[in-house]
Structure 1
């Protein structure tokens, strides 16, 4: 599901560059070929946050049994996105866009909740340099 979201966020690359805002991804670990497999779906630089400063709560295995999670998996699968089952998969992502404080924060409530692309662009327009 992260590849689906990465692809959607990559659609903003040109608009973000025009605003002087780089498109970057922060991943929590480097397992196998995960970053190389992620690269075709993401147009920006990729950084590894080994200390997991950019990540939120940890969800237990029961979190996978939620109906919304199943819907998110099916949505991503139908869109042609496939992932892997390697590495630590229970930490929910947090997307923050900031240069003068947090301008946008999106915390996944369950696996596969995506940030709204329009919200990212709106927050990027608020950044002052």
Structure 2
């Protein structure tokens, strides 16, 4: 199953630093068209949420450094999209900063992808 990432900005060596953890294609969406007609953001008040601080501590303990550069308020997500008419098999939209997708759910959704069958012209 091919993996793709869409990022909204490339600051310093951010994408290159991500490479050891992700081998799929990475697309830079500077116009942020992929993020939908209405971007989902969490403002400064998001920092008073307990879940955000728990996510921050979890990331810090696992060695994630992050940075304070660029736009940091747009919430991200993970989609598993099937072939043909299968459509979206998994949709995870961040509810708050650091809201991680369940890896097992991603793997289960990926297993449901049915390969496209091409008819031979010969």
TM class, shorter-length: 0.7 to 0.9
- State the 1:97 CA deviation: 1.1
- Stretch moving more, 107-116 or 50-59: 50-59
Please say if residues 26 and 54 of structure 1, whose CA atoms lie closer than 8 Å, have aligned partners that are also in contact.
no
Q: Tell which has more relative contact order, 1 or 2 (C-alpha 8 A, sep 6+).
A: 1
Decide which structure has the larger Cα Rg and report it.
Answer: 2
Q: Give the TM-score normalised by the residue count of structure 2.
A: 0.80
Q: How many residues align?
A: 109
1:120 and 2:106 are equivalent in the alignment: yes
State the partner residue of 2:9.
29
- State the 1:95 CA deviation: 1.0
User: Gaps spanning 5+ residues in structure 1: where?
Assistant: 1-20
Regions of 4+ moved over 4 Å: none
Question: What is the distance in 1 between the residues matched to 2:20 and 2:110?
Answer: 23
Question: What is the distance in 2 between the residues matched to 1:32 and 1:58?
Answer: 23
- State the 1:84 CA deviation: 0.7
Larger helix proportion of the pair: 1
State the partner residue of 1:42.
22
State the partner residue of 1:12.
none
Larger strand proportion of the pair: 1
User: Gaps spanning 5+ residues in structure 2: where?
Assistant: 117-122
Question: What is the distance in 1 between the residues matched to 2:19 and 2:91?
Answer: 23
State the partner residue of 1:9.
none
Question: What is the distance in 2 between the residues matched to 1:97 and 1:41?
Answer: 18
2:46 to 63, 71, 80: 63
- State the 1:124 CA deviation: 0.8
CA RMSD after TM alignment: 1.5
